Amino acid sequence: MRILKSSPLLLRMALAAMLGLVAALGLAPYEVWPLTLVSLAAVPFLIRYSRGSWRAAWIGWAYGTGYFALALSWIVEPFFVDAARDAWLAPFALMSMAGGLSLFWGLAFGLARVFSGSGATRTGLLILFWTLAEIARGYILTGFPWAAPAQIWTSTPVLPLLAWTGPQGLTLITLFVALSLSLIAAPGPRRFLALLPGLALLVATLMVAPPQEIEMTGKTVRLVQPNAPQDQKWDPDFMPVFFNRQIEYTAAGPRPDLIVWPEASLSSYVYGVEDPLAELEQAAAGVPLAIGLLRPDEEGFYNSLAYFDQAGDISQVYDKHHLVPFGEYIPFGGLLDGLGIQAIADISAGGMKSGPGPELLDLGGLGKALPLICYEAVFPQDVNRAEGRASFLLQVTNDAWFGSGSGPYQHLAQARMRAAEQSLPMIRVANTGVSAMIDPYGRIIGSLPLGTAGYIDLPLPNPLEPSFYSRTGDLVALFVTLLGIVGVSMRSVFIKALKKD
C-alpha cells in the first residue's frame, strides 16, 4: 500500500490498465471469472490514495481502457474484410472504442471520490456510481452494453438469476461481491465481512437453480449454418456455392417443423442460380422457413427476416431496427459521406434503412417469435419493448464479421443472457457459428461449432412464466442504485457532522 501511496499517477494508471486487462479474462471465450473478481477487488486500493476526483477519474479511465481493449479486440476484424480500404482504421477503431467507453467508468470513479469520505463509503459509492455508468452505457447514443461485468457469469450457475435481476442488477451484485473482497485487508473482524456478499450470491444461486430437464414443445427446428467467410460471401464465384449448400441442408430428411437460415443468407439475386425462390420452395417441401435476407424497396435496403409459410409464400417480414453505427449506417451520414466515409456493411448510398421496432411474428403451431437480427440481441431493453409475450426468441446473425476470435463467443454469451432474462428459449442461427438452441435458463441444448458448415435438428423448449425482469426492465436496478447513492451519501454527511461535534 505504501508503494501505491508514493507512486506517480501515470504509474498507477499503467497498473490500472493491466488490472483492467486481467478483468476482461472473465469474459468469453476465456471465462476465468475469478480473475475478474480479484482484479475488481484491487480497484479500491488504486483510488484510495488519489488526491482529488480528477486523479481517481483518470485511474478509472485507464482501468476501463485496459478492460475494453481486450474485451473488444474482435472489433478490428471487420476492417480486414476489405483490408485495402479499411485496415488502416483498425487500431484507431479499437482504441477509440476502448477509450470512449472507459469515459463512463472514469466518471464513476471521479464521482465516487467527490462524494465520499472514508474507505467503506468510497467503496460503496464506487459500486453504485459504476453500476449507474453501466446503465448509462447501455442507453446513451443508442447504447453499447457489450462486455458488461455481469457477462462473466454466462457459463456458471449464476446465470438464471438474470430472470430476477436483469443484466444491470447482476452487474450491481457482481461489483458488490468483488469490491467487498477488498475488506480482506481490513484489520480485525471486519475482514470477515468481505465474504458475506459472496455467500449471499451463492445462496441466491442455489435458490433459483433450474431443473436438470425441461419440458419440450414437441416441435423440431433445423438450424442451417453455411459457414460463408465474409470476404467470399458476396463474391459471384462463391454465392452459388453457399446458396446450394443451404439448399442441400434444407432438403435433407427427416423433415423438421421449421427451418432457419442465418442473417443476410439470401438476396434478391444469386449469381449462377436462375430461380433461387423456386429452388428454395422445392427444397423446403412444405416446411416453413425463417430466412435472413437483404430486402430492397424504393427507400433502400433493409436487413430483414422473412417467414415463408408452408405454401412457400412470404407471409411476414421483420426489418432490423437497431442498426450498427458505422457498420450498417453512418451517424451524420450526409456530412461524413461527403468526406468519403462509408459504413463497413453498407450496400447502398446512405446506409441500410431501419425498421419500425420490435415486433412478434406468428409462426402458427410453433407460437410467436420475437426476431432479433445480429446486434439486436445485445440490447435487453429492446427485447422488453416488444408488445405481447413471445413463445421464443429467434436470432439470426452473421458473425463472420467478428472473425474466429472472442467476438462470436461473446455474442453467443449475450444471446444466452437474453434467454435467461426473459425465461424464454432462443433459436440462434449464425452464418459461421455458433448456432445453438438455448433453453429458458440460458443453457445450450445443442449447437454447431464455430467455423463449420452443417445443420442440426433440435427440439424447441417450452417457455416459462414471464420473468420478473421481463415485467420491470431496468427500472428496479436503476431505482436501487439511485436510492443507494442517496443513502450512502447521507451516511457520509452524517458521519462528517458527528466528527465535527
Catalytic residue IDs: 263, 320, 374
Print the SS3 string covering 310-360: CCCCEEEEEECCCCCECCCECCCHHHHHHCCCCCCCCCCCCCCECCCCCCC
Phi and psi of 139, rounded to 5°?
-125, -40
Dihedral sign (CA 475, 480, 481, 487): positive
Q: What angle do CA 165, 490, 493 make, to 5 degrees?
A: 145
Q: Locate cell 483490408: which residue?
A: 83
Give the separation between CA 358 and CA 361, rounded to whole angstroms. Answer: 10
Contact present, 399 and 411 (Cβ < 8 Å) = yes
Among residues 263, 190, 199, which one has the least CA distance to residue 233? 263
Q: Locate cell 447482476: which residue?
A: 170
The neighbouring-strand residues paired with 325 are 329
DSSP string, 169-199: HHHHHHHHHHHHGGGGGSSGGGGGGGGHHHH
- The cell for 91 is 487500431
Contact present, 481 and 125 (Cβ < 8 Å) = no
Give the separation between CA 70 and CA 36, rounded to whole angstroms. Answer: 13
Contact present, 124 and 495 (Cβ < 8 Å) = no
Dihedral sign (CA 281, 376, 475, 42): positive
Peptide bond preceding 288 in cis form (omega within 30 of 0): no
Contact present, 246 and 261 (Cβ < 8 Å) = yes
Give the separation between CA 48 and CA 43, rounded to whole angstroms. Answer: 9
Give the separation between CA 257 and CA 369, rounded to whole angstroms. Answer: 14
DSSP string, 77-133: GGGGTTHHHHGGGHHHHHHHHHHHHHHHHHHHHHHHHHS--SHHHHHHHHHHHHHHH
Give the separation between CA 411 and CA 436, rounded to whole angstroms. Answer: 12
Contact present, 54 and 37 (Cβ < 8 Å) = no
